[in-house]
Structure 1
Amino acid sequence: MNVSSSRKIPRILSSELYKLVTLPSIWITLISTFVANLFFVAAFTSASTNVLGTAGTQSSLHIGLSSMVYLQAGFIILGTLATCSEYAGGQIRTTLTTVPWRGLQLTMKHVALGILTIPAAFIIVTCSMLYPLFILRETTVVVQLETIIESLVGATGYLTFTTLLSAALGAMLRRTTSTLVMLLTYYYVLSPLSRDVIPRIRDYFPDTAGLYMYIPPSSDVVNGFTPIQGAGISTLWTLTFITLAILLFAKRDA
């Protein structure tokens, strides 16, 4: 109990990271997400060629990012499993017995999840961009390397924020099914329905703000925010949910 903070934080972080990388459902989710995303990218690439004869005015970057709306579902599941899995079999009691500092424990869980999510998201998004680039390299519009890098970083950041926000909500609800129902309903039903009802307010929603982080400048989407502004709003949403999760976690029984 008298362990110094300089030793406490690395130990808790390594413990949370170890729990995540040894959880089978985490790897099943990541692998399934990777495979499903390649399927969607291949389908979009094939469709763009079949419909237009060539990719026309579309760039490989636009085609590669077309799967993001489906790709985010895998990372929503990833974040939910990361925090809800400990409640399924009561493992959270063992965790709190060994790590009684609740706020620090949940904070380090989110940090560990971020460490795992960033490279996973980066690899999956990179593959999304590379596939149409190689398949349609002679028919698509040339995109500057700087634009590709900006979209890659933005998409990776958006998926990371989505994962952490999902984990925070999972920590609050403590139930995998209810958390997924709430998140998927928002991302795939409520948010799209609000597009024409409250268009300007919707720009401040976490999914729309995140869209501005990676959408190419020449996209059909009218950019209401710059990538930096979108990242700032997404960061604020994520930190708000994590803070609420920590406060609630510290106040209630396991």
Structure 2
Amino acid sequence: MRVPSSKKITLILGAELGKLITLPLTWLTLIGTFILNLFLAAAFTSVGLQETAGTQSILNIGLASMGYLQAGFIILGILAACSEYTGGQIRTTLTTVPWRGLQLSLKHLALAIVTIPAAFIIAASGVFYTFIRMRDTATGLEIDTMLAAIAGATGYLTLTTLLSAAMGALIRRTTPALVILLGYYFVVSPLTRDLLPGLKRYLPDTAGSYMYMPLSSEEVNVLTALQGTGILMLWTLLFIIVASIFYRRRDA
């Protein structure tokens, strides 16, 4: 019996969401990232209170933990992609859902559905914590500016998670994927920024940082939030497309 396309999409998406939200490591990763963010926000805010803080620094301090938070979302994306390969469940998935390209696309969509609210809550918690602690120095801070920064941070973490999931689908093993991505984000990228400063704006993490970090008037040759979003989206789509090609052509 032929299943209507709309029902097929709904069923596959529901199955992917079910697998993701029933995976204990999903919630352990998100809860651990949330706790880490509160700890870092408290630490950075305590340092900020010892200095003169204005509108600019409140957002900078509230989002200073982003460089560390991204590790949790990288782990989330890789776990979502690689968890089925650990016990061989991927064979059952591909037997019941033979449309590989559609299944991988909906897996990423399900991951985005879970990641967006989680990323928003985690990013907002750090900013609001800093704002509450430093509210006496927050004169002139507009709510629109704060919400735009939180929305940008949410988008960055979500796209980073999807890119990581695509890398996980390519490699199919959790540990190697973690080593490659964490090695890039925390070792290779910082070195590249120093050695090749002209290239750094087009790296996925650097371009993505312009989505949420307020810019100083002294900064030159920087990207707008829209440009940074576009570059990171292109990187993410590229990885998803490549992952989909390999996913469709090789054995489970």
Moved more, 140-149 or 11-20: 140-149
For residue 63 of structure 1, the aligned residue among 61, 64, 80 is 61
Deviation string for 1:20-65 (max 9, x for gaps)?
0000000000000000111001000011223x2x536753211100
Distance 2:56 2:224 in 1: 22
Match of 1:34 in 2: 34
Q: Distance in 1 between matches of 2:216 and 2:149?
A: 12
| Partners of 1:208 and 1:221 in 2: CA distance | 14
Amino acid at match of 1:142: G
Return 35-44 or 192-201, whichever deviates more: 192-201
Separation in structure 2 between the aligned mates of residue 186 and residue 2 of structure 1, nearest angstrom: 45
TM-score w.r.t. structure 1 length?
0.95
1:121-200 map, 5 Å: 121-140=119-138, 142-200=140-198
Asked whether the equivalents of residues 59 and 142 of structure 1 are also in contact (C-alpha less than 8 Å), the reply is no
Map Cα deviations across residues 108-167 of structure 1 (whole Å, 9 max, x no partner): 000000000000000111101100111111134532222112111111000000000000
Cα gap change, 1:176 to 1:162, in 2 (>3 Å): same
Corresponding residue of 2:20: 20
Contact 2:56–2:214 (8 Å) recurs in 1: no
Q: 1:84 to 1:220 in 2, by over 3 A?
A: farther
2:213 to 211, 215, 222: 215
3-state SS, counterpart of residue 216 of structure 1: coil
In structure 1, runs of 5+ residues without a counterpart are: none
Partner SS, residue 78 of structure 1:
helix
State the alpha-carbon separation in 2 of the partners of residues 177 and 220 from structure 1.
41
AA partner of residue 211 (structure 1): S
Question: Identity over the aligned pairs, expressed in percent?
Answer: 61
Where 1:213 maps in the other structure, the secondary structure is: coil
The 8 Å contact of residues 212 and 223 in structure 1, kept in 2 or not, is answered as: no
Match of 1:47 in 2: 47
Alpha-carbon spacing, 1:36–1:220, altered in 2? closer, same or farther (3 Å): farther
Q: Which amino acid aligns with 2:141?
A: V
1:219 deviates by 7.7
Q: Does 1:4 align with 2:28?
A: no
Contact 2:55/2:140, CA 8 A, preserved across alignment: no
Shift of 1:217: 2.6
Runs of 4+ in 1 over 4 A off after TM superposition: 219-223
- Distance in 2 of aligned mates of 1:184 and 1:219: 32
1-structure distance, mates of 2:129, 2:118 = 17
Q: Which amino acid aligns with 2:49?
A: T
Change (3 A) 1:48 1:58: farther
Mapped to 2, the partners of 1:223 and 1:117 lie a distance apart of 31
Name the residue aligned to 2:233: 235
Aligned mates of 1:46, 1:220 — CA distance in 2: 26
